[in-house]
Amino acid sequence: MQALPGSVRYWHSTLPGAPMPVSLPLDSLDAAVDRLFAHVGPRIVLAAPLGLGKPHRLLNAITRRVAADPGLSLELLTALSLTPPSPGSGLQRRFLGPFLERHFGADFPTLDYALALRRDQLPANIKVEEFYMQSGALLGSSQAQRHYVSLNYTHVARAVAERGVNALVQKVAREPGGTRLSLSCNPDLTFDLVDEVARLGNARPYFIAEVDPHLPWLDGPCAVDADFFDLVLDLPGPTPDLFALVREPVSDADYAIGLYASTLVRDGGTLQIGIGSLADALCHALVLRHTRNDVYLALLEALSPGLATSKLVQSTGGVEPFRLGLYGASEMVNDGFRRLVQAGVLTRRVLDDAEAMARLNRDAGTPEDDARLAFEGRYLDGAFYLGSKDLYAWLRGLDAEQARGIGMTRVSHINELYGNNEALEREQRRDSRLFNTCMMMTALGAAVSDALEDGRVVSGVGGQYNFVAMAHALHGSRSVLMLRAVRGAEGQASSNVLWNYGHTTIPRHLRDIAVTEYGVADLRGRSDEDCVLAMLRLTDARFQPGLLDQARTARKVAADAALASGAEGNRPDLLSKKLAPFRRDGSLPNFPMGSDFTPVEQRLVPALAWLKQQSALPAGKLRLLLRALVAPASTDTEAMQRMALADPSGLAQTLEARLLAMALARTAD
């Protein structure tokens, strides 16, 4: 049997001259911080996992110690420092205040450095460098923008090792009834970092684990002996809840994108997806395709007559239920994958044996191959997981067979084709469909996913470039970039399909497949003119003429080029009309992955979103206020009570109550 290179049990031996560390259990944050400084000295270059794997309480103890002592310094190398959103003011505060306290818990330890970073108030002796930011949260922070590090996910471990990292902190799970530890949610960079440190011949960083009893125990590649860490911290008392993402409602545009994208997935293939409502829409469409195929086909026909039998769908994907099933290989495991497993879509298993996989892929597997596949085969590999409370509960509740089918592992295995066991990965990842979301695309096929034209970073490159390039390197695989055709609303709508933009995440020479709510464009290997004309068919009708004029001026289309027939129907109102029957009968629910909101809150979400949309411009805000003055009281007593506006007092509360009543009436259907 072939194992993946760098198995956990051999990592310590790759460090030249390094003694085996001694795991010392502790139950005090102060003691852990004392040990850390005693070992590494006054200057800490600290690595911490992205997302869920950060030990918030330990990080706060470290940063508070450094902030209080000018003789100490801290350089924190990390990503995705998750913090609960601010409740804001006005109606937003009335809604979010109670929800946030319920969802995150009153004792959730928000990261001190993350709050200071947003306010540009990090002390001089603390520096935070992130390679991926919480989306849109740090556009106004000079400290965050100046110290952002632009990297492919697979290059992070190398960069951190080269910076002289001398310590790492990580949240872990403890084996039930045993002594081993699991990196569980974040094996992504830790193992690769160990190898990079060894490659450079540097001293092994000081590793501290904080055990979190809420973190699901997962075995396999992410499990280690306790002495993998120098200190293991078991804090007494209740443990704060895990950070859980709030599941978003899925719009008509999102569903259309998800439905189009779902037709590109080939049975027996491999799936990678990102996060957010577009990924939720795609996964819901795949579940419909498998479990309610008649409804799925009716949806496709309503959306785009003839789509199911089109040449692109027939040659690239399919619309039938999944007989062979899919295998997931994605940097992030999210609620979409949970739903695909529960629905029986993610059932194709793989082995870490290139020769056995080659036989199985050619229907020449031996009885031994089949037996191994049933016992040790995996249907899902990931580098980290992050999602809802339901995702974490599902992972904790997996039976032994289901749990064996999930392999949480290093990011270099998931995101990189070259430099690992390439022959094995090619066999495992047959017919890969690599779905990612972007903010904008140019008419020539370049994508903008992580930053604005002026250079400010919205999020980060992450693994997107890795997967786009991998799709071109893997035979039979495709990269699919999904984006909404427009942003904004009413009088301030803007096109997300542009002629040019001052920043690019994915260069145009890697263009492949693009999907908006108005269709699919196959751009791979196409000429610039073909690409422009295909992207025009994905563009909102309001912006097509201007885009075509720019293409003519740049000599990229013929002087007499015209807009495609039917493209004038690329309008949000017509799209909603097509999907309305399926909205009403529940086939396209607002929250396909489940909701974190109560039923009354689910009525309030679209109402508040409508108010925000209508008041985006000063003129719109004035019209709303004038209409609110004569609006009748709401008949939704429960919603008004939830917002503490059932019995308003004073002019401000009365106006808020009238605005909310108007919005509830407007969005009641």
Q: Residue 13: pLDDT above 50?
A: no
Q: Residue 2: pLDDT above 80?
A: no
Model pTM score: 0.94
- Asked if residue 585 is part of any domain, the answer here is no
Q: What is the pLDDT of residue 528?
A: 98
The model's confidence at residue 627, banded by pLDDT at 50, 70 and 90, is confident
Q: Residue 4: pLDDT above 50?
A: no
Q: What is the pLDDT of residue 488?
A: 83
Joined together, the tokens standing for residue 192 give: 């690769």
Q: Residue 1: pLDDT above 70?
A: no
DSSP state of 52: G
Residues 191 and 113 in one domain: yes
Percent of the chain with pLDDT over 90: 87
The model's confidence at residue 119, banded by pLDDT at 50, 70 and 90, is very high
The model's confidence at residue 99, banded by pLDDT at 50, 70 and 90, is very high
Q: Which H helix or E strand runs over 173?
A: strand 167-174
Residues 149 and 278 in one domain: no
Joined together, the tokens standing for residue 618 give: 């000063």
Mean pLDDT to the nearest integer, 309-327? 97
Kindly provide the residue ranges of all beta strands, DSSP E only, lying in 416-490, ordered along the sequence: 432-437, 440-442, 447-448, 478-482, 486-487
- Asked if residue 243 is part of any domain, the answer here is no
Mean pLDDT to the nearest integer, 218-247? 95
Q: What is the pLDDT of residue 420?
A: 79
- Asked if residue 643 is part of any domain, the answer here is yes
Residues 221 and 72 in one domain: yes
Phi then psi for 261, rounded to 5 degrees? -65, -35
The model's confidence at residue 6, banded by pLDDT at 50, 70 and 90, is very low
- Asked if residue 56 is part of any domain, the answer here is yes
Residue whose token pair is 């036989």: 359
Contacts of 648 (CB under 8 A, 6+ apart): 654, 656, 657
- Tens digits of residue pLDDT in 153-193: 999 999 999 999 999 999 999 999 999 999 999 999 999 99
Q: What is the pLDDT of residue 24?
A: 54
Residues 543 and 649 in one domain: no
Tell me the β-bridge partners of 208: 169, 231
Residues 203 and 327 in one domain: no
Mean pLDDT to the nearest integer, 45-61? 97
End residue of a domain, out of 519, 538, 572: 572
The Cβ of residue 643 has, within 10 Å, a number of other Cβ atoms equal to 25
Residues 223 and 258 in one domain: no
Q: What is the pLDDT of residue 438?
A: 97
- CA-wise closest residue to 465 among 426, 424, 496, 509: 509
CATH number, domain containing residue 184: 3.40.1080.10
Domain limits for position 648: 598-666
Are the CB atoms for 480 and 513 separated by under 8 Å?
yes
Q: Using N-to-C axis directions, what is the helix angle for 572-584 and 293-303, rounded to 10°?
A: 160
Mean pLDDT to the nearest integer, 340-366? 97
- Tens digits of residue pLDDT in 139-152: 999 999 999 999 99
Exposed / middle / buried, residue 464 (Cβ in 10 Å: 0-12, 13-18, 19+): buried
Q: How many domains does the chain have?
A: 3
Distance CA 295, CA 301 (A): 10
Q: Residue 452: pLDDT above 90?
A: yes
What Å distances lie between residue 649 and 57, 98, 629, CA to CA?
41, 20, 15
Mean pLDDT to the nearest integer, 424-450? 97
Kindly provide the residue ranges of all beta strands, DSSP E only, lying in 192-287, ordered along the sequence: 206-211, 223-224, 231-233, 270-272
Q: What is the pLDDT of residue 590?
A: 94
Exposed / middle / buried, residue 497 (Cβ in 10 Å: 0-12, 13-18, 19+): buried
Q: What is the pLDDT of residue 16?
A: 37
End residue of a domain, out of 176, 198, 233: 233
- Asked if residue 66 is part of any domain, the answer here is yes
Kindly provide the residue ranges of all beta strands, DSSP E only, lying in 349-462, ordered along the sequence: 380-385, 406-408, 432-437, 440-442, 447-448
Mean pLDDT to the nearest integer, 630-642? 88
End residue of a domain, out of 557, 572, 587: 572
- Tens digits of residue pLDDT in 414-425: 999 988 789 999
Residue whose token pair is 């409740």: 87
The model's confidence at residue 632, banded by pLDDT at 50, 70 and 90, is confident
Lowest mean pLDDT, pick from 193-197, 449-453, 481-485, 610-614 = 610-614
Mean pLDDT to the nearest integer, 463-476? 96
Phi then psi for 542, rounded to 5 degrees? -65, -25
Residues 119 and 226 in one domain: yes
Residues 409 and 497 in one domain: yes
- Asked if residue 245 is part of any domain, the answer here is no
The model's confidence at residue 21, banded by pLDDT at 50, 70 and 90, is very low
Q: What is the pLDDT of residue 668?
A: 85
**What string of H, E and C letters represents the secondary structure of 521-582?**
EECCCCCHHHHHHHHHCCCCHHHHHHHHHHHHHCCCCCCCCCCCCCHHHCCHHHHHHHHHHH
- Asked if residue 293 is part of any domain, the answer here is yes
Q: What is the pLDDT of residue 270?
A: 98
Residues 330 and 373 in one domain: yes
Residues 520 and 386 in one domain: yes
CATH number, domain containing residue 419: 3.40.1080.20
What value does the mean pLDDT of the chain take? Answer: 93
Q: What is the pLDDT of residue 491?
A: 63
Mean pLDDT to the nearest integer, 610-624? 79
Residues 418 and 446 in one domain: yes
Greatest CA separation for the chain:
79
Residue whose token pair is 């690599």: 434
- Asked if residue 464 is part of any domain, the answer here is yes
DSSP state of 222: G
Mean pLDDT to the nearest integer, 62-70? 98
The model's confidence at residue 634, banded by pLDDT at 50, 70 and 90, is confident
Q: What is the pLDDT of residue 373?
A: 95
Residues 228 and 263 in one domain: no
Q: Residue 640: pLDDT above 80?
A: yes
